[in-house]
Amino acid sequence: MQRAVFRWLSPLRRGKNGSPFSGLAAAQAEVETLSGKNNAGLPKLPPFDYSPPPYDGARTAEILLKRSEFLSPLSYIYTRILNVVDGKMQYLYDEDGKRYLDAFGGIATVCCGHCHPEVVEVIVNQIKRIQHSTVLYLNHAIADFAEALASKMPGDLKVVFFTNSGTEANELALMIARLYTGCHDIISIRNAYHGNAAGTMGATAQSIWKYNVIQSGVHHAVNPDQYRGAFGSEGEKYAKDVQEIIDFGTSGRIAAFISEAIQGVGGIMELAPGYLPAVYKTIKNAGGLCIADEVQSGFARTGSHFWGFEGHGVIPDIVTMAKGIGNGIPIGAVVTTPEIAEVLTRRNYFNTFGGNPVCTAAGHAVLRVIEKEKLQKNASVVGSYLMDKLKKLQEKHEIIGDVRGRGLMIGVELVSDRQEKTPAKAEILHILELMKEMGVLIGKGGYYGNVFRITPPLCFTKEDTDFLVDVMDVAMSKL
């Protein structure tokens, strides 16, 4: 049962004396101190008016045994695995009722907040009436949400195909592009992440999180990485690689270019300025379509705009989305123009569960909550506040090599040497563990696995920000 844990934590397996697991033991000893009674002076969670009901279900050890026997092999981010049994807005609760600040759930599932009462009410009311009917029959929930989504889109992007996930949305987008253009070649960016099916894993390129499943006709362009890239923030220089791929790696025509505006799993890396406008122009000249993967950066998360691509001043031909779209309910979508969408009418595209009334009713409720509670503005205000605090923390701790992102989609890259930009792969695991014990759950990503991914629910507050940064400060000080 422990093998998967130790495999994931391999950088900590040996200490300076070379003894097995001594590095991990040191981290665990620090955790024991924090999780025990000797926690005076540690940052305190902001007050929150909610107490979860007592939990009498299966405990951590029992669930771990079942997972090891009956579920696929998994790698765990923590040595002390967390059994989450309750959630409310930006907070989660474990089996003992301990409260945690969720600074990562926005990417995993939640946009408005865990168990948002208005979203929950809509889901319950809909499931009491009808839960399964899609394009075979009429249902107002499906049409209403499609209309609401289209109203959020620029240009002629107004035809919606509903799917069950972001992976499925990106697979469909790639297929539409190939059918529409009559070409097979796709260009994606190295270090991107687009899903876990064969086609999307092929487009995912060299991400550390997935094996590179080879797909014919998929080409990987150099990553416009502003921190580690050869051209810094000069986006147009990176864009030349796309033109070279078309010139020397294809027939001169292309089906599509797919990219995130901000790479999520890739370490919250915002593409270099000027990159997307230059690439979109190149793709158009080659007869291709531009696909914007908004699975992680969409739905007001960047604060400055509702969609991540808007921050780059471009309008794609196809937009894909999922995760936050349903606030935890499994739903994704592809939005494109009537002209492009027409290609599927000749091929009888059908999705059994995509866009069922329960999921679409939930998605529509999410849009209403974002607008009603002004969550886009909150993402901008609180996100700017968080960026400022993290940059001040960077001045204090040499281990912080870079702070980047937009709105409530922020990355903090850890390095053991700022000049060499050496990835701090072991240190980040230690800090993650300490932060969890102090009550903060945070994500991890990047090509080297050394970047904190801060993507909380959009209801995150300045008080939550203060707590998060204070906890990170304490954890880094203990290195």
Together in a domain, 137 and 179: yes
Biggest distance spanned by C-alpha atoms of the chain: 68
pLDDT single digits (tens) 315-360: 999 999 998 898 989 999 999 999 999 999 887 787 888 889 999 9
Same domain, yes or no, for 324 and 245? yes
Q: What angle, 0 to 180 degrees and rounded to 10, lies between the N-to-C axes of helices 22-35 and 425-437? A: 20
Cα dist. 408→303, 367, 405, 432 in Å?
A: 7, 17, 8, 19
193 against 33, higher pLDDT: 193
Among residues 372, 406, 426, which one ends one of the domains? Answer: 372
- Output DSSP code: residue 274: T
Band of residue 36 on the pLDDT scale cut at 50, 70, 90: low
End of a domain among 321, 355, 372? 372
| Per-residue pLDDT at 286 | 97
Q: Which of 316, 349, 372 is the last residue of a domain?
A: 372
Domain co-membership, 39 together with 76: yes
**Dihedral (C-alpha) 380, 386, 391, 397: value to the nearest 10 degrees?**
-160
Per-residue pLDDT, averaged over 213-241, amounts to 92
Nearest-angstrom CA–CA distance, 174 and 363: 23
Strands 256-260 and 262-263: unpaired
User: Partners of 289 in the beta sheet?
Assistant: 256
Locate all alpha helices (DSSP H) within 2-128, ordered by sequence: 3-8, 22-35, 60-70, 105-108, 117-127
* Residues 91 and 218 occupy one common structural domain: no
Of 38-47, 203-212, 263-272, least confident by mean pLDDT is 203-212
pLDDT of 417 higher than 60: yes
Verify that 319 and 399 share a domain, yes or no.
no
| CATH assignment of the domain containing 50 | 3.90.1150.10
d(C-alpha 45, C-alpha 440), whole Å: 9
Same domain, 25 and 135: no
**Which residue from 147, 159, 148 is spatially nearest to 337, judged by alpha carbons?**
159
Mean pLDDT for the chain overall: 88
Same domain as 392, residue 366: no
Handedness of CA 457, 462, 468, 472 (dihedral sign): positive
349 or 179: which leads in pLDDT: 179
The number of domains in the chain is 2
DSSP character at residue 112: S
pLDDT grade for 373, boundaries at 50, 70 and 90: very high
Domain that holds residue 69: 3-112+375-477
pLDDT at residue number 111: 82
Percent of the chain, pLDDT > 90? Answer: 71
CA distance 319 to 309: 9
Give the mean model confidence (pLDDT) for residues 31-48. 74
What is the arithmetic mean of pLDDT over 221-238? Answer: 96
Per-residue pLDDT, averaged over 292-303, amounts to 95
State the average pLDDT over residues 414-441. Answer: 96
My answer on whether 291 and 367 are in the same domain is yes
Q: Which domain CATH number covers 317?
A: 3.40.640.10
Q: Two tokens at 449?
A: 């696995």
More confident residue, 284 or 65: 284
User: Do residue 52 and residue 172 come from a single domain?
Assistant: no
392 and 262 both lie in a single domain: no
Measured between alpha carbons, how far is 87 from 473 in angstroms, rounded to an integer? 26
Task: Provide the whole-model pTM.
Answer: 0.90
Clarify whether residues 106 and 145 are in a common domain: no
Q: Is the Cα torsion angle 300, 306, 310, 315 positive or negative in sign?
A: positive
Task: List the single range of 79-88, 165-174, 376-385 with lowest mean pLDDT.
Answer: 79-88
pLDDT at 19 over 60: no
Looking at the structure, do residues 210 and 253 belong to the same domain, yes or no?
A: yes
